Amino acid sequence: MSNEPLVISSVEGPIAILTLNRPQALNALSPALIDNLIRHLEMYDADDLIRAIIITGAGRAFAAGADIKAMANATPIEMLTSGMIARWARIAAIRKPVIAAVNGYALGGGCELAMMCDIILASETAQFGQPEINIGIIPGAGGTQRLTRALGPYRAMEMVLTGATISAHEAAAHGLVNRVCPPETLLDEARRVAQTIAAKSPLAVQLAKEAVRAAAETTVREGLAIELRNFYLLFASEDQKEGMRAFIEKRAPNFSGR
């Protein structure tokens, strides 16, 4: 077993970059790798100096799925009690913006991980798919739900039932991906988007993320209530006063995060 960290973490000013690092296994998401990823995400979520997080993969994959070798002999009770897949929900629960920089294969759990992020940028070499059907299972970390919301029921159904992958350009054309970049500029584009978000009020960013997420996860009525509550709440922040004052005084705002 290699001594390399399963997740390489680096901080560039207000941005944390997490690189999934099992390239020899196409970054298959073993329980240890997922635990490591969750630990880093939750640490940066709690760190006031970090305003946006990027997840990418080392080598030719973003992630080729949950680790099939770690699950092959599992019983349903072991899958349930270990929380092996259920704990991925903690990734989707991160409050700060998370950008997926998808550099290669995003298959199965890898595609599901990308869809737990808030913005998906893809390299021209990326491929997306839910190939679980090929190994006698179905997606278990949100694929049937998030892919259907991203692509619509017919395209999602075809992908989930046939296991076929789609290219980065197809994914972008159908709304699964924000945009496609040449491989060599993918991370810089992710940094650029992260920097843009990092310059905003972090309170407004957090409450905006919560409200947009609600559109996919609740009814319109509930989502509208969450949006209005968060809108009102921001009027309690110094950043709202500063942002509006700066606009009126024709200068750049200086957000404090309070």
Strand order in the sheet with 127-129: 61-63, 105-107, 127-129, 165-167
Residue 63 CA to residue 26 CA, distance in Å, equals 6
Task: Give the interface size with ligand CAA as a residue count (CB under 6 A).
Answer: 23
Q: Is 79 exposed, middle or buried (0-12, 13-18, 19+ CB in 10 A)?
A: middle
Q: Which is nearer to ligand CAA, 142 or 202 (CB)?
A: 142
Pick one of 65, 97, 202, 243: the residue that binds ligand CAA (CB under 6 A).
65
Q: Which is nearer to ligand CAA, 97 or 109 (CB)?
A: 109
List the catalytic residue out of 58, 61, 132, 189: 132
The rounded distance, in Å, linking the Cα atoms of 246 and 232 is 20
Check if 132 is active-site: yes
Q: Does 26 bind ligand CAA (CB under 6 A)?
A: yes
Helix (H) or strand (E) holding 82: helix 76-82
**Cβ atoms within 10 Å of 140's Cβ, excluding its own:** 18
* Cα 106 to Cα 122: distance, rounded to the nearest angstrom: 10
From 22-30, 42-50, 204-212, 241-249, give the range in contact with ligand CAA by CB under 6 A: 22-30
Take residue 84 and report the two structure tokens written for it: 């092996």
* 243 annotated active-site: no
| 109-116 helix and 143-151 helix, angle to the nearest 10 degrees | 60
Subset of 152-211 contacting ligand CAA (CB under 6 A): none
Using rule CB under 6 A, residue 143 touches ligand CAA: yes
Q: Contact with ligand CAA (CB under 6 A): which of 18, 54, 85, 117? A: 85
Candidate residues 57, 109, 202, 243; the one interacting with ligand CAA per rule CB under 6 A: 109
- Does 112 qualify as catalytic in the annotation? yes
* 112 sits near ligand CAA (criterion: CB under 6 A): yes
Structure tokens, 239: 């950043």
Q: Which stretch binds ligand CAA (CB under 6 A): 114-122, 136-144, 212-220, 228-236?
A: 136-144
Contact assessment for residue 98 and residue 118, using Cβ atoms and an 8 Å cutoff: yes
Stretch that binds ligand CAA, among 42-50, 63-71, 211-219, 226-234 (CB under 6 A): 63-71
For residues 19-53, one letter each, b for 16 or more C-beta atoms within 10 angstroms of the residue's C-beta and e for the rest, the string is bbbbeebbbbbbbebbebbbebbeebbeeeebbbb
Q: How far is the CB of 138 from ligand CAA (least distance, A)?
A: 7
Give yes or no for a contact between 71 and 79, defined as CB atoms under 8 angstroms apart.
yes
Q: C-beta of 68: minimal distance to ligand CAA in Å?
A: 4
- Output 97 or 131, the one with its CB closest to ligand CAA: 131
Q: Is 104 in the site for ligand CAA (CB under 6 A)?
A: no
66 among known catalytic residues: yes
Residues marked active site are found at 66, 109, 112, 132
Interacting residues with ligand CAA (CB under 6 A): 25-26, 28, 64-69, 85, 105, 107-109, 112, 131-132, 134-135, 139-141, 143
